[in-house]
Structure 1
Amino acid sequence: MSRRILVIEDNAMNLALMTYVLEAFGCTVLSAPDGLRGMAVIREARPDLVLCDIQMPLMDGYAVAREMKQDRATAAIPLIAVTASAMLGDRERMIEAGFDGYLSKPIDPATLMNDLAPFLERKNQAAGTAHTGAGAFRIPPQDGTQRTPASAALAPTHTILVVDDEPLNLSLKSSLLEPMGYRVITAAGMAQGLALARQHRPDLIISDVGLHPDAGGFDLIRQLKADPAVQHIAVVFITATHRNPVWEAEGLRLGARRFLYRPLDSDELLGEIQACLPHGGPENS
């Protein structure tokens, strides 16, 4: 079942980034631009987790934390502070107010879901229980170390080349695929993608349609299909902007296995990828 996460954030760009990342991993995102409206959503929707900015109009993050944790109906919901300035003494203030942890801005899309996983798991284990106070405070790792979910495969099974001109999209797809055991190679455009395809002979290429600045995804697949050395590689297009039956038909006509639209549930994407990969293990190159 999709996790419902409330993001309380008055900065539109920060809100858009967190929403994009969370939806890419299959979460249902609720949002509020200030603490006052955030509390209304918390009481009405009872989300599985709340990400809360500290400095906000009308009602700041500390006030949200105190009000949440004093209400038995909402006290068990994990509350994570999202702050750009964790100064000396801020941790103690967060504990006193009732926060269960904090994340530093800017958010790292590649580690966000792993950072939140312990809090979501604790919510499942402690459903219906009250907040346990300072002892429940947990700071997610901020040292840049790689975390791997318990369900991850132990060894790579296939190589996937991801081609996208947006660094955020490359990071999101890598953070989704690598913990599942795939070896992921990334390219920032058509020319680089074509060169890496010839060099590494991946089992699958996942490409955006509107690549910049050199050429688009359709140019990439035309070049691939014209080269006997790489024409066998399966191609999947994923796009958020080219939502047009004509574009989809053209992509499939050129030889793509799938033409998918973002936002895409992570389980659905993994299922489509598995369906397009060659059976019986990686290709020998």
Structure 2
Amino acid sequence: MLASILVIEDNPANLELMSYLLSAYGYSPHTATDGAEGLRIAGREAFDLIICDIHLPQTDGYEVARQLKADPVRRTVPLIAVTALAMVGDRDKVLAAGFDGYIAKPIDPETFVRQVEAFLRPDKRKNAPDPPASVCDAPVAVPTRHTVLVVDNLPVNLDLARSILEPHGYRVLVAEGIEDALTAARMHPCDLVLSDVCMSGGTGYDLIKRVKSDPRLAAIPFVFITSTMLNEADRAIGLGLGAARYLFRPIEPEALLSEIESCLREAGRIARGDDSDR
């Protein structure tokens, strides 16, 4: 049986990406969004490895490490720090606090699971030497037929979108802001725009207004996806501006794929009954 892994991380996008990558390799990820919750879960369930951020609400990663390593039952469980700390001496401080290893943020989706596996017992690791198609750059069997422009100012969200969409035959273009997104959409014909709402240099609402006011782009289905603007009033604003969908993070990969496919079909870009992209 592959490893059961606890991930303690307060950033929803980072938590979603790490959980997705671990699941893609066949591991069983469990999650906590603050240190206190992580300690409670670790106290009632057995894990083969624990991944923990340093900067956490309520109880930080250093305190999590102190309590876990003081517990005779859990002190032998490998504890890995995943953190953006990058100052001289930070790595030594993390290891001195009781962590068994250190992975720097932003994580690399192509190497993250292999880094984690280095701390697992051999009998708890995945035997297959190659990563699954969902997180590698190898050509996929599904032909590329539709192009999705993903707009987000967080690289971790752009990486997550690629890892979900590309294995299912989608060509993914990325942009980190409004002007870059408009330039990309005008230079490279795309079939759908998937955009965050809160971004630097303007919001997703600003972007959709400009997309819908441009005759060359107005017909492109526009989908919002957000982890911050989560109430029905926000959804109403997005849909009122012409969005085909307003989705909330975290979202299961299959649910996101289904929503995108439905939007493409509704816009006449996939014929009804044509599932060749899936």
Same topology, TM > 0.5:
yes
User: Is structure 2 residue 270 aligned with structure 1 residue 279?
Assistant: yes
Shift of 1:109: 5.2
Residue of structure 2 aligned with 1:211, choices 199, 222, 226:
199
Alignment: residue pair count: 233
Matched AA of 1:167: P
- 1:248-267 correspondence runs (5 A): 248-267=235-254
Is contact 1:190-1:220 (8 Å) kept?
yes
Change (3 A) 1:219 1:81: closer
Residue of structure 1 aligned with 2:161, choices 157, 163, 173:
173
After superposition, what is the alpha-carbon deviation per residue over 1:7-42, rounded to whole angstroms, capped at 9, x for unaligned? Answer: 2x6xx66x7675242456786524784997565232
After superposition, what is the alpha-carbon deviation per residue over 1:156-196, rounded to whole angstroms, capped at 9, x for unaligned? Answer: 22111001122222222122222222111111111111111
CA distance in 2, matches of 1:156, 1:64: 50
Change (3 A) 1:190 1:29: same
Unaligned runs of 5+ in 1: 69-78, 91-98, 120-130
After superposition, what is the alpha-carbon deviation per residue over 1:96-154, rounded to whole angstroms, capped at 9, x for unaligned? Answer: xxx9xx873336253377649999xxxxxxxxxxx9x657667999xxxx953999543
- Give the alignment's TM-score, normalised by structure 1: 0.62
Residue of structure 1 aligned with 2:229, choices 242, 250, 254:
242
User: Is structure 2 residue 191 aligned with structure 1 residue 191?
Assistant: no
Shift of 1:218: 1.8
- 1:37-48 correspondence runs (5 A): 39-43=42-46
Change (3 A) 1:223 1:262: same
CA distance in 1, matches of 2:82, 2:152: 29
- The structure with the largest alpha-carbon Rg is 1
- Give the alignment's TM-score, normalised by structure 2: 0.63
CA distance in 2, matches of 1:187, 1:276: 21
Identity %: 30
1:6 alignment partner in structure 2: 6
1:220 alignment partner in structure 2: 207
Is contact 2:117-2:125 (8 Å) kept?
no
1:93 alignment partner in structure 2: none
Is contact 2:208-2:241 (8 Å) kept?
yes
Is contact 1:206-1:236 (8 Å) kept?
yes
- Please, what is the CA RMSD of the aligned residues? 4.6
1:75 alignment partner in structure 2: none
SS at match of 1:230: coil
Unaligned runs of 5+ in 2: 24-28, 53-60, 84-89
SS at match of 1:232: coil
CA distance in 2, matches of 1:245, 1:38: 32
2:31 alignment partner in structure 1: 29
CA distance in 2, matches of 1:231, 1:170: 23
SS at match of 1:228: coil
User: Is structure 2 residue 193 aligned with structure 1 residue 202?
Assistant: no
Is contact 2:149-2:190 (8 Å) kept?
yes
CA distance in 2, matches of 1:82, 1:140: 25
